């Protein structure tokens, strides 16, 4: 079975603080993909990153960075110097490759609500 756990339901920080959102996943597939999405109050889902299971290199994009560790089945997301505009619900998701009957389907975590206060 595939599962994604985001244990942090809500996080509140003050602007300019760094914040890390945790994501732990479960899958029996050897090839899989991990995603992060942002859902601001307006409701649309914004794609942030996709990472495949063979690439454990950390990724940095501006103030965003991602730490993928297969040994702990985690794919954590860090926002550096947070800003008020970062306030949103963040979802971590998992998808298997075409080798699995679950290809393309995203299994979402429950989401973490991030509030950045001025």
Partner 1 sequence: SAVISQKPSRDICQRGTSLTIQCQVDSQVTMMFWYRQQPGQSLTLIATANQGSEATYESGFVIDKFPISRPNLTFSTLTVSNMSPEDSSIYLCSVEDSPGGSGGAVDEQFFGPGTRLTVL
Residue 15 CB, nearest approach to partner 1 (Å): 25
Q: Which is nearer to partner 1, 63 or 105 (CB)?
A: 105
Q: CA-to-CA distance for 16 and 39, rounded, in angstroms?
A: 20
How many whole angstroms separate alpha carbon 10 and alpha carbon 1?
Answer: 26
* Structural contact between residues 21 and 90, judged by C-beta atoms closer than 8 angstroms: yes
Which has the closest alpha carbon to 21: 117, 114, 104, 116?
114
Contact letters for partner 1, residues 27-66 (x by CB under 8 A)? ----x-x-x-x-----xxx-x--x-x--------------
3-state secondary structure of 17: coil
* Closer by beta carbon to partner 1, 86 or else 91: 91
Question: Considering the rule CB under 8 A, would residue 70 count as an interface residue with partner 1?
Answer: no
Judged on CB neighbours under 10 Å (0-12, 13-18, 19+), 41 is exposed
**Measured from the CB of residue 39, what is the shortest distance to partner 1 in angstroms?**
9
Smallest gap from Cβ 10 to partner 1, in A, equals: 12
Rule CB under 8 A: which residues touch partner 1? 31, 33, 35, 37, 43-45, 47, 50, 52, 91, 95-99, 103-111
């Amino acid at each position: 079975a595939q599962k994604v756990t985001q244990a942090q339901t809500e996080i509140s920080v003050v602007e300019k603080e760094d914040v890390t959102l945790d994501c732990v996943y479960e899958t029996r597939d050897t090839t899989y993909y991990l995603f992060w999405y942002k859902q601001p109050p307006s409701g649309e889902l914004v794609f942030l990153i996709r990472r495949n299971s063979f690439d454990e290199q950390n990724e940095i994009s501006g103030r965003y960075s991602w730490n993928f560790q297969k040994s702990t089945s985690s794919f954590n997301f860090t926002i550096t110097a947070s800003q008020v505009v970062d306030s949103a619900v963040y979802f971590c998701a998992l998808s298997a490759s075409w080798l699995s009957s679950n290809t393309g389907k995203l299994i979402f975590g429950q989401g973490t609500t991030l509030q950045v206060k001025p």
